[in-house]
Structure 1
């Protein structure tokens, strides 16, 4: 598929007063995230009764983005020394591109590698250039009039909650209204609660946990409503009477990823599942979604058993216990300057586990319930929403993302990136494929 860039622009905050704001301080949670982009691509089919005016849409997207950057001004700046964000006048990238082909044809025969052609930058890879923008947008226009709106978001400052709030704000401005931020001072809450204090020599340890030189293979698998209900029934137990979708799917994928690793290496390796947990609603004084930064941390669930049969019920219960321990008794010691010491001990133990070379670390994150599949600029909800994967090296470690499937309620898509040898085994495992489908047919 041929994608031709037709224009490149820089979008700056609409108000020049933003350029005069004091630098935005990073939190130590932000400091611990290696610089890399995570991507999204939204596909919009041209309505039959009201064809897209792409020139008008382009101008309106850029104007509303500039207005939105007044509220989310850190996105228009650049990271300085992993301590702060400044130079808000530098703005965000906005590319326009032509795609030779039909959107409907692409959706019917979607090639995963082609998704990366829609992106303004390479995603899920470690970035060494600190001058790169924190947000980049690419408006891709098909010959048929359909649209693929792609974004690369820097994980240095944008987590799923930040992104969700930003998109609600942007779409509101595009439609002619606004998304009110009731307490603008809370945008900077993270840096006050978790003040920056990570020493520069910590970078090698963090990068080693996030990224691997081993070649990855990324595949997506679909779980329909029946498969999810069946898996929830399988993980249900006296200790877990009401399993969530996330617990059921995580336990299932974790089990078969471990079995694939065992089959590929010939030995059963101990593993740790790291699961992202949003801190905002768990604070004593809850933080709004628009509080910027990486206001999340990880639960760590270890598993080391030589038993031939890995029980889904046991794995799901372990996940429940790990998240259950993520309470105020755990969070309160993280606040203030001593918080980094608590997390540092966790990371050092994890790094020691990873350095031994005989274990597997899996990162799970859920984009469910954030409304990321409902981004409506006035054209209706997207026909399809994707998270492009990466098979490049060095790339992010064993990584699993859950997200909703466009407009199909009750179904979930999992993007799974594993060691190439493990993935070759997983994608052919008949027991795994009983519940996970590698294909999804678009209407």
Structure 2
């Protein structure tokens, strides 16, 4: 299957924004390395009379309209302090796919997903002034299309990116009243940017985020029964009702630790980090639609011995780590007192010096990507990306959890050291709950196609 780029242009805000003041990054933005997070929405042909030119025209116009309130996404970073030059716009790529959407979904090669994206994802961007967002519309011969999007992590966390996509979709389907108006000042007010940010800490963050090891990406699906069973396995007197995410995170973390033990033949410390949205935890609460990297990593560490690692214990560690991020903790981190943030980074550096196995978890289950309707119905499938690059430092050992429609199943998109992944792919205990790249099922419960490799 061939993907050919037909045109590239820049989409700018529909209303003048050149006169607006530079957008201040928050301190958490400044510390976040430049890399792209991807998303691909696959839409079948629902209207035989709808031409690709109509789809492209509508997407371009409404993207321009959406960029007006989200104008920082149209600019470029300057000196890791502000975003300006809003007239630069968002790259918009039109591509043609030789083949049919159904054929691709019947026998997809996961690495082909990267061809549907406008940027290299989850890898270090050497140029800090890259676009804050980019779009690629891939039109299949059958009329179906894949909408590939990339969002720079410099100001986009999951909430920011999903808010933008939902607002764009609302404008596209003619529901402007449902469009989101973001808050552009909360983040920099709570975490003021530092004009003289020590370069030591930006370098430290890059070293913690990126690695040049060889990684492999796989999509595993845990159906509703598997998720419920794993949650039940995590029950204890301390935690009687683990959440779906807690049970699944604990299971995946344990499986990865077992794989590491098999590789090294010994035990060493393991660290799990989980991204936590802090908007709802501050006092007073921040706006739900505040732009910026308003997340903090909940850390759980485990020093395994030769005994079996118990799910209940790991679930407790996961909840304890998340529970430490509360309003009082965030109060210490915010305001002009950035010392607490620097102290946290110093502790992370000390932890990293012990060379633990680190696994980072990101939960996208609240973003409702499978519900995004641009006016042509909901996506038949939501993909992320195919594989990590081998010629550039990339995010290391990370797991993205994403809901599957409305059936309470969860997809785990796992990018792990290739030696760890090689063991998981053949781990019978892991595969008893996780299906490797199984068939896609539409909301009607009709099997659409087979995704077996």
SS of corresponding position for 2:123 = coil
Deviation at 1:309, TM superposition (A): 0.1
Correspondence for 1:160: 158
TM-score (norm 2): 0.94
Deviation string for 1:306-355 (max 9, x for gaps)? 142000110001111111121111111111121x3212222222222223
Q: Could you say which residue in structure 2 is the equivalent of 1:93?
A: 91
Q: Shift of residue 408 of structure 1?
A: 4.8
Contact kept? 1:78, 1:85, Cα under 8 Å: yes
For residues 52 and 189 of structure 1, what CA distance do their matches in structure 2 show?
41
Q: How does 1:362-373 map to 2 (within 5 A)?
A: 362-373=359-370
Task: State the 1:210 CA deviation.
Answer: 0.2
Q: Which residue of 1 aligns with 2:15?
A: 15
Is the 8 Å Cα contact of residues 389 and 415 (structure 1) preserved in structure 2? no
**Alignment map for 1:123-272 (pairs within 5 Å):** 123-179=121-177, 186-197=183-194, 198-272=197-271
Give the aligned partner of residue 378 of structure 1.
Answer: 375
Match of 2:65 in 1: 67
| Cα shift at 1:282 | 1.1
| Aligned 8 A contact 2:75 2:131 in 1 | yes
Q: Give yes or no for contact 1:275–1:300 (8 Å, CA) kept in 2.
A: yes
SS of equivalent to 2:217 = strand
TM-score (normalised: structure 1): 0.96
- The Cα shift of 1:182 comes to 8.2
Whole-Å Cα distance in 2 between the matches of residues 176 and 222 of structure 1? 34
Aligned with 1:220: secondary structure? strand
Give the distance between the partners of 1:183 and 1:392, measured in 2 at CA: 35
Specify the alignment match of 2:445 in structure 1.
none
Give me the whole-angstrom Cα distance separating, in 1, the residues matched to 2:211 and 2:38.
19
CA distance in 1, matches of 2:284, 2:58: 37
The equivalent of 1:397 in structure 2 is 396
Residue 114 of structure 1 aligns to a residue whose secondary structure is helix
Corresponding residue SS for 1:123: coil
Unaligned runs of 5+ in 1: none
Describe the shift of the 1:303–1:113 C-alpha distance in structure 2 as closer, same or farther (beyond 3 A). same
> What displacement does 1:74 show?
0.3
**Structure 1 contact 93–136 (Cα < 8 Å) conserved:** yes
**Distance in 2, Cα, partners of 1:213 & 1:245:** 32
Q: Distance in 1 between matches of 2:438 and 2:272?
A: 27
Alignment partners' CA distance in 2, 1:243 and 1:87: 47
CA distance in 1 between counterparts of 2:432 and 2:316 reads: 22
2:275 paired residue number: 276
C-alpha displacement at 1:27, in angstroms? 0.6
Q: Distance in 1 between matches of 2:48 and 2:179?
A: 32
Where do 1:310-389 residues align within 5 Å? 310-338=309-337, 340-357=338-355, 359-389=356-386
In 2, Cα distance between equivalents of 1:377 and 1:183? 18
- The CA distance in 2 between the partners of 1:327 and 1:283, in whole Å, is 7
The separation in 1 between residues aligned to 2:384 and 2:100, in whole angstroms, is 20
For these two proteins, the number of residue pairs brought into alignment is 437
Asked if structure 1 preserves the Cα contact closer than 8 Å seen for 2:218 and 2:437, the reply is: no
How much has 1:179 moved relative to structure 2? 4.5
Give secondary structure in 2 for the equivalent of 1:281: coil
Distance 1:173 1:25 in 2: 27
Q: 1:254-307, CA deviations, whole angstroms, 9 ceiling, x for partnerless residues?
A: 001011011112221201111100011112222233210111111111101214
More displaced 10-residue stretch of structure 1: 135-144 or 381-390: 381-390
Deviation, structure 1 residue 209: 0.2
Judge conservation of contact 1:168–1:179 (CA < 8 Å) in 2.
no
Classify 1:112/1:408 alpha carbon distance in 2 versus 1 (closer, same or farther; 3 Å): farther
CA distance in structure 1 between the partners assigned to 2:369 and 2:287 by the alignment: 17
Write out aligned runs for 1:302-313 (5 A).
302-313=301-312
Secondary structure at the counterpart of residue 296 of structure 2: strand
- Rounded to whole Å, the distance in 1 between the matches of 2:178 and 2:336 is 32
Tell me which moved more, 324-333 or 246-255.
Answer: 324-333
